[in-house]
Amino acid sequence: MTGMGGGGVETGNPVVVEAFHTLLLHQCLIVLAILLAGSLLWLLLSGPATQPRNNSPEPRARAVLRYGFAGLWILDALLQAQPSMPLGLPDGVLKAGAETSPSWVQHLAASGAGIWIRQPVVSAVAVLWIQLGIGIWMLLAKRGVPSRLAALAGIAWALVIWVSSGFGGIFAPGASLLLGAPGASLLYVLGGVLLLVPTAQWAAPRFQLLIRRLLGGALIAAGILQGFPGRGTWLGIDAKGQVVGQLASMASDMADVRQPSFLSAIVRHFSSFAAHWPILVNGLAVCLLLGVGWVFVLRSTKYLKVAMWIGIVFFLAVWVLVQDLGVFGGLATDPNNMIPLAVLLFAVGTATLQPSEELAASALESLAAPEQTESAPVPQRLPHPIVLWTSTIASVLVIALGVIPLGVAALVGSTDPVLALALNDPPQKANFAAYPLHLVDQHGVPVSMATFRGRAIAMTFLDPVCVTDCPEIGSEMAVTSSLLGSDASKVALVAVLANPTYTSLDAVRAFNRHLGLNSVKNWYFLTGPLPELERVWAYYNAGTVNVAGGAMTLHNDLTYVFDAKGRVRIILNSTPGGTGVLHDSYSALLARELRTVLP
């Protein structure tokens, strides 16, 4: 598996996965309580209502659009529950989506990934609730202001996803509709924009023609781009026998993703076919995109229904054969762009085709039914405004369960201690007396355990001439002091020298200067006579061993946490991480453990 942020923690790390599932389960109970309360209120308030006969129900095209994108948002939420998401998404999705784009796009994607990397568990769970809340809201809010607010929420979050994932790859060389551009999230935005349109407008011929032409024009542009020479769309296999064609290459990559074997075989066979017959495959794709687009652009609707279904079948074929359903591999965040595109095509086509059918049905109904006055109310079971707002409030609460912690993580910039736990052993509980120190600090001032009376202590062992772990651990101590804030005055951060050769105050002071530790007021780097140091090492199992032919000393990376009475309460493995994120995570872990023993 790939590492998270280059920091050496595997995507399937059991500590992080367990923390993810635990938080998800705890918050799931909150979400169930919210939905249960909303459902009970729904049952209490819903009932027969009256409405004027001329107030038409939701147009079928809009209902298709709303149900389609509500289902997609809910599916995306379920995909977020995959165990690889917390650690795998920053590199495997956000950065990967922008890796072939210009540097400014890569920088933007890396900025978004930075928040996730620091709080992977909170971020993964938060995104799940945001998308589930939007999906439920869109599903239940059928009309009026609640429905438009649900659409706005979907637009806002889809734009966040689109930007943070590198604009759906539109700036990458060789970007193609069939390869996933302009990103499913941008299509979610377009779906949300259409849901903002007033219900009555859907029956207006001018509006129907406008949205048909916009979608048709987009398909024509995609067809031209797909057929444009020099973009690799017409290639198959090069002189060395390597697959170089766009469609064949993507299908080949997707066939290697972990999935049921029969699906992999189907996609692999298509990849081979596309590699050997690239002109036929790409030519068919170009013709279908141009043909369907052209029919949608025309004012006449004579062939619209046929074109609509041809387009839907074509999109589904691409979804299966090229994009491999888009949901496998453990890091899929959506089913890719073909399904939302099919929903848009069906909704736009239905918007034009439906009115004539409704008019005919209405005429037959009027012939069979007795005459009624226009103002006569017709009893129907319609959603009461209070019911609509109840579903809105419940959905907003679910979304807030994700937005608030994600916003806090972005603003505060803190790092989750679970990353340090993923790299190290869990903290060990202890309860034994401290060794009676007789050493001196970096200023030459004598130090004993009485020096720290009334304060909690974090004590580790550092080699002043070490160039690997020790500087990292020293820096972690400085970050810990900063994280403690006002509690830092109640804590002593102590390092005992761990090198039998270099025990002088000059060596200690040089180490402090190099790391800027002189400005940390509660920092003590202790040294003293070698016999006394050896007794301290033995008592705390420092395990110092000189490296043959070198100046550095090997020793155990342990940190002991003392309570204010001078007793050891917690033992931490202080192996530092290879990145700033893991570095800060250990500091957050140490600060958390120190707070448990503060006086």
Nearest Cα residue to 520 out of 507, 511, 529: 511
Which of 108-117, 208-217, 249-258, 346-355 bottoms out in mean pLDDT, i.e. has the lowest?
Answer: 108-117
Please, what is the average pLDDT of the chain?
A: 86
Please tell me the total count of domains within the chain.
Answer: 2
- Taking the C-alpha atoms of residue 157 and residue 165, their distance in angstroms, rounded to an integer, is 12
Percent of the chain with pLDDT over 70: 88
Residue 334 lies in a domain: yes
Alpha-carbon distance of 545 to 148, in angstroms, equals 69
250 and 338 inside one domain: yes
Q: Are residues 426 and 401 in the same domain?
A: no
pLDDT at 539: 95
- pLDDT band at residue 579, thresholds of 50, 70 and 90? low
Task: Identify whether 182 is part of a domain.
Answer: yes
Q: How far apart are CA 590 and CA 175, in angstroms?
A: 46
**Do 457 and 315 share a structural domain?**
no
Phi-psi region of 263 (alpha: psi -120 to 50; beta: other; left: phi over 0): alpha
Q: Which of 427, 444, 424, 458 is nearest to 560 (CA)?
A: 458
Task: Please give the model's pTM, rounded to 2 decimal places.
Answer: 0.84
> Using CA atoms, how far apart are residues 121 and 274, in angstroms rounded to an integer?
41
Residue 382 lies in a domain: no
Burial of 324 (0-12, 13-18, 19+ CB in 10 A): buried
What per-residue confidence (pLDDT) applies to 481?
93
Do residue 77 and residue 204 come from a single domain?
yes
> Per-residue pLDDT averaged across 534-540, rounded?
93
Angle, CA 353 vertex, CA 348 and CA 359 arms, to 5° = 130
- 65 Cβ contact list (under 8 Å, min separation 6): 191, 194, 195, 343, 344, 347
Q: Are residues 404 and 471 in the same domain?
A: no
Assess whether 439 and 321 both reside in one domain. no
In a domain, 196, yes or no: yes
pLDDT recorded at residue 188 = 97
Q: Identify whether residues 533 and 551 lie together within a single domain.
A: yes
Tell me the average pLDDT across 555-569: 91
Residue 19 lies in a domain: no
**What are the two backbone dihedrals, phi and then psi, of residue 569, each rounded to the nearest 5 degrees?**
-115, -30
Q: Domain containing 480 — which CATH number?
A: 3.40.30.10
Question: Which residues touch 89 (CB under 8 Å, ≥6 apart)?
Answer: 113, 116, 120, 124, 331, 333
Q: Mean pLDDT, to the nearest integer, of 261-266?
A: 94
Do residue 327 and residue 423 come from a single domain?
A: no
Binned at pLDDT 50, 70 and 90, residue 54 comes out as very low
Same domain flag for 326 and 225:
yes
Look at residue 170 and tell me if it is in a domain: yes
In the chain, % of residues over pLDDT 90: 59
Same domain, 338 and 466: no
SS3 370: coil
- Containing domain of residue 133, as a range? 61-359+390-412
Q: Is residue 380 part of a domain?
A: no
Per-residue model confidence as pLDDT tens digits over 488-528: 999 999 999 999 888 999 999 999 999 999 999 999 999 99
Residue type, 159: L
The confidence band for 135, taking pLDDT boundaries of 50, 70 and 90, is very high
**435/558 same-domain check:** yes
- pLDDT of 8 reads 58
For residue 461, give the nearest of 547, 557, 529 by alpha carbon. 557
Query: Does residue 267 sit within a domain?
Result: yes
Say if residue 217 is in the same domain as residue 234: yes
| pLDDT-derived band at 73, boundaries 50, 70, 90 | very high
